[in-house]
């Protein structure tokens, strides 16, 4: 008899995980409170943009290996994949994790396995989940097995990475870790490493912090190079020719629900010690304002109402996710300063000032800001954009456009991080 798994939370991680488990022979119930998610899932459809996910979902739903429900029920294994957002005060909001654990509680029986996948502050499994599960009167670690196994997949490559990435498994005790390892072994080709829950939680936060700090360095270099009249993009390219240097890309800021959030969980835990981590977050968060300052300089001599067109507003290329997008912040700052805005992003279906037609978006605009490097933007007829615009200035925040080609068309091409 295949084991039954209940996955709570069908977002960017929960849904692909549920689908892969179902595809690997488990009977999976996917739980979410969002009617749109459940209604679509039970028709074999998904409401997020992710390569190859829809095909798998369609297949496993048609075989009844994956069923969407509003509430959890009995299962052998429970996997919690709910969001852990950040509050205004930069502290983790653990409400969804607590609610999800309470919702599975009536269904948890002897020998069940409970796994948290949501990115969480250190101590969550031990100090939040374990005490709730103890209300079953079953001994956690002996009668119920508990652990933390953080997801590590990157949006845009989730299906491939779910199967192939190495995973860290933190058990509340050794037997829990080993039982959880057996489950992941059944569908992961990468290596599986076992440790305790606190270490696994910190590993997850550290991975994203490493990337955030590296990007903060790149963004600080961008500002310094701008000041010194050096092209930061060339600087980083040449530095990275060194065998032990790998600086990431600077740009308009860091978005998404991971890099822009997780380092704060470390700051929250050790406010007086996590100095570089905090400063890096602040550096990356300062970038939309930095882009705004550039826009202001480039348009300062214009009279009357100024129209800015924005190409791309998701948090990164080729996805539909706008969470914590720096371009959303940029748009807000521009509006606060009375700029007229028009946005074009083929990945976004609805947003204030979104224009479905590119030429309408750029019509009579004074400045075009390239905010996101969507591959589709390579195919734009920039000659047409040039004709439709009033001012002929492009500000490229990602070093994405072909500078020579843009200049040939007639644009005044400005690159973020190069004063020239
Ligand atoms: N960014 C830069 N410069 C770069 C790379 C990224 O400015 O060189 C920006 C992007 O434009 C974006 C943000 O950083 O706004 C985050 O993008 P990302 O591609 O670095 O990462 P995410 O948030 O999509 O996914 C990360 C991944 N973590 C790591 O690579 C360490 C992924 O593996 C995690 O599973 C995911 O966070 C998560 O869910 O935690």
Residues with CB under 6 A from ligand 1: 119, 151-155, 207-208, 211, 215, 248-249, 251, 254-256, 258-259, 315-316
Q: Which one of the listed residues 65, 130, 179, 204 is annotated catalytic? A: 204
Choose one of 254, 257, 327 to mutate for the ligand 1 pocket test, by most ligand atoms within 8 angstroms of C-beta: 254
Choose one of 154, 237, 283 to mutate for the ligand 1 pocket test, by most ligand atoms within 8 angstroms of C-beta: 154
Any catalytic annotation for residue 204?
Answer: yes
Q: Is the pLDDT at 49 greater than 90, yes or no?
A: no
Measured in Å, residue 12 CA sits from the centre of ligand 1 at 14
Q: Is the pLDDT at 418 greater than 90, yes or no?
A: no
Question: Which DSSP letter does residue 86 get?
Answer: B
What is the helix (H) or strand (E) element at residue 239, kind and residue range? helix 232-239
- What value does the mean pLDDT take over residues 146-154? 96
- What value does the mean pLDDT take over residues 272-288? 98
CA distance 186 to 306: 57
Ligand 1 atom nearest the C-alpha of 212 is: 14
- What value does the mean pLDDT take over residues 232-239? 97
Instruction: Give the per-residue pLDDT at 87.
Output: 93
Ligand 1 atom nearest the C-alpha of 215 is: 3
Q: How far apart are the first and last CA of the chain?
A: 68
- What value does the mean pLDDT take over residues 279-301? 97
CA distance 193 to 191: 7
Task: Look at ligand 1, atom 2, and give the residue with the nearest C-alpha.
Answer: 249
Pairing status of strand 167-171 against strand 145-148: antiparallel
Does residue 333 contact residue 295 with C-beta atoms inside 8 Å? no
Instruction: Give the per-residue pLDDT at 213.
Output: 98
Ligand 1 atom nearest the C-alpha of 372 is: 11
Any catalytic annotation for residue 90?
Answer: no
Ligand 1 atom nearest the C-alpha of 326 is: 15
Choose one of 83, 85, 118, 208 to mutate for the ligand 1 pocket test, by most ligand atoms within 8 angstroms of C-beta: 208
Measured in Å, residue 33 CA sits from the centre of ligand 1 at 27
Per-residue pLDDT of 89-105, as tens digits, reads: 999 999 999 999 999 99
Strand partners, 369: 310, 395
On average, the pLDDT of the chain sits at 96
Lowest mean pLDDT among 122-131, 140-149, 215-224, 300-309: 300-309
Q: Is the pLDDT at 186 greater than 70, yes or no?
A: yes
Spatial neighbors of 148 by CB under 8 A, at least 6 apart, are 115, 116, 117, 120, 124, 125, 169, 170, 197, 200, 201
Q: What is the arrangement of strands in the sheet containing 66-69, beginning at the earlier edge strand?
A: 66-69, 27-31, 4-8, 77-80, 113-116, 145-148, 167-171, 192-196
**R_g over Cα of the chain:** 24
Q: Is the pLDDT at 377 greater than 80, yes or no?
A: yes
| Whole-structure pTM value | 0.95
Measured in Å, residue 325 CA sits from the centre of ligand 1 at 12
Nearest Cα to 124, choosing from 155, 154, 92, 156? 92
Q: Is the pLDDT at 1 greater than 70, yes or no?
A: no
Measured in Å, residue 13 CA sits from the centre of ligand 1 at 14
Does residue 305 contact residue 263 with C-beta atoms inside 8 Å? no
Instruction: Give the per-residue pLDDT at 155.
Output: 87
CA distance 253 to 260: 9
Whats the size of the chain, residue-wise?
A: 420
Cβ burial 350-376 (10 Å sphere, 16+ → b, else e): eeeebbeebeebbbebbbbbbbbbbee
Instruction: Give the per-residue pLDDT at 420.
Output: 66
Measured in Å, residue 36 CA sits from the centre of ligand 1 at 27
Measured in Å, residue 211 CA sits from the centre of ligand 1 at 7
Does residue 298 contact residue 416 with C-beta atoms inside 8 Å? no
Instruction: Give the per-residue pLDDT at 69.
Output: 98
Alpha helices in 270-351 (DSSP H): 275-285, 287-299, 326-336
Place of tokens 């250190």: 122
Instruction: Give the per-residue pLDDT at 136.
Output: 97
Spatial neighbors of 201 by CB under 8 A, at least 6 apart, are 120, 121, 122, 123, 124, 125, 148, 150, 170
Q: Is the pLDDT at 7 greater than 90, yes or no?
A: yes
Place of tokens 């653990």: 94
Task: Look at ligand 1, atom 40, and give the residue with the nearest C-alpha.
Answer: 258
Instruction: Give the per-residue pLDDT at 2.
Output: 75
Work out the percent of the chain whose per-residue pLDDT is above 70. 100
Instruction: Give the per-residue pLDDT at 33.
Output: 95
Nearest Cα to 366, choosing from 320, 297, 317, 319? 297
Confidence of residue 79 (pLDDT cuts 50, 70, 90): very high
Ligand 1 atom nearest the C-alpha of 253 is: 7
CA 278, distance to chain mean position in Å, is: 19
Instruction: Give the per-residue pLDDT at 50.
Output: 87
């Amino acid at each position: 008899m295949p084991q039954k798994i209940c996955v709570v939370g069908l977002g960017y991680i929960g849904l692909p995980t549920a689908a892969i488990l179902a595809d690997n022979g488990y009977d999976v119930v996917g739980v979410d409170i969002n009617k749109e998610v459940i209604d679509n899932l039970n028709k074999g459809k998904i409401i997020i943009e992710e390569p190859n996910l829809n095909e798998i979902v369609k297949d496993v739903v048609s075989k009844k290996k994956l069923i969407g429900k509003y509430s959890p029920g009995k299962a052998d294994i429970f996997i919690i994949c709910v969001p852990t957002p950040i509050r205004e005060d930069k502290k983790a909001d653990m409400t969804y994790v607590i609610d999800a654990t309470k919702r599975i509680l009536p269904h948890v029986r002897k020998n069940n396995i409970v796994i948290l996948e949501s990115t969480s502050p250190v101590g969550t499994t031990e100090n939040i989940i374990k005490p709730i599960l103890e209300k079953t009167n079953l001994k956690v670690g002996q009668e119920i097995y508990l652990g933390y196994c953080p997801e590590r997949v990157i949006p845009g490559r989730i299906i491939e990475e779910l199967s192939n990435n190495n995973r860290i498994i933190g058990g509340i005790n050794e037997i829990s870790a080993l039982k959880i390892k057996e489950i992941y072994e059944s569908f992961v080709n990468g290596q599986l490493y076992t440790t305790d829950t606190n270490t696994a939680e910190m590993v997850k936060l550290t991975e994203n912090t490493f990337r955030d700090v590296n990007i903060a360095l790149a963004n600080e270099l961008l500002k310094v190079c701008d000041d010194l009249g050096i092209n930061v993009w060339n600087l980083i390219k040449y530095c990275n020719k060194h065998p032990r240097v790998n600086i990431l890309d600077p740009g308009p800021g860091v978005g998404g629900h991971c890099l822009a959030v997780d380092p704060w969980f470390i700051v929250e835990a050790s406010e007086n010690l996590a100095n570089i981590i905090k400063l890096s977050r602040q550096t990356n968060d300062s970038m939309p304002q930095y882009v705004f300052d550039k826009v202001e300089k480039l348009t300062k001599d214009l009279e009357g109402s100024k129209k800015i067109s924005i190409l791309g507003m998701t948090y990164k290329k080729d996805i539909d996710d706008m969470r914590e997008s720096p371009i959303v912040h940029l748009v807000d700052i521009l509006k606060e300063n009375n700029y007229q805005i028009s946005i074009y992003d083929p990945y976004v279906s609805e947003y204030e000032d979104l224009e479905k037609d590119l030429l309408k978006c750029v019509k009579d605009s004074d400045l075009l800001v390239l905010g996101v490097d969507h591959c589709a933007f390579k195919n734009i007829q920039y000659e047409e954009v040039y004709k439709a615009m009033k001012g002929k200035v492009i500000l490229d925040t990602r070093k994405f456009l072909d500078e020579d080609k843009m200049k040939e068309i007639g644009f005044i091409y400005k690159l973020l991080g190069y004063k020239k």
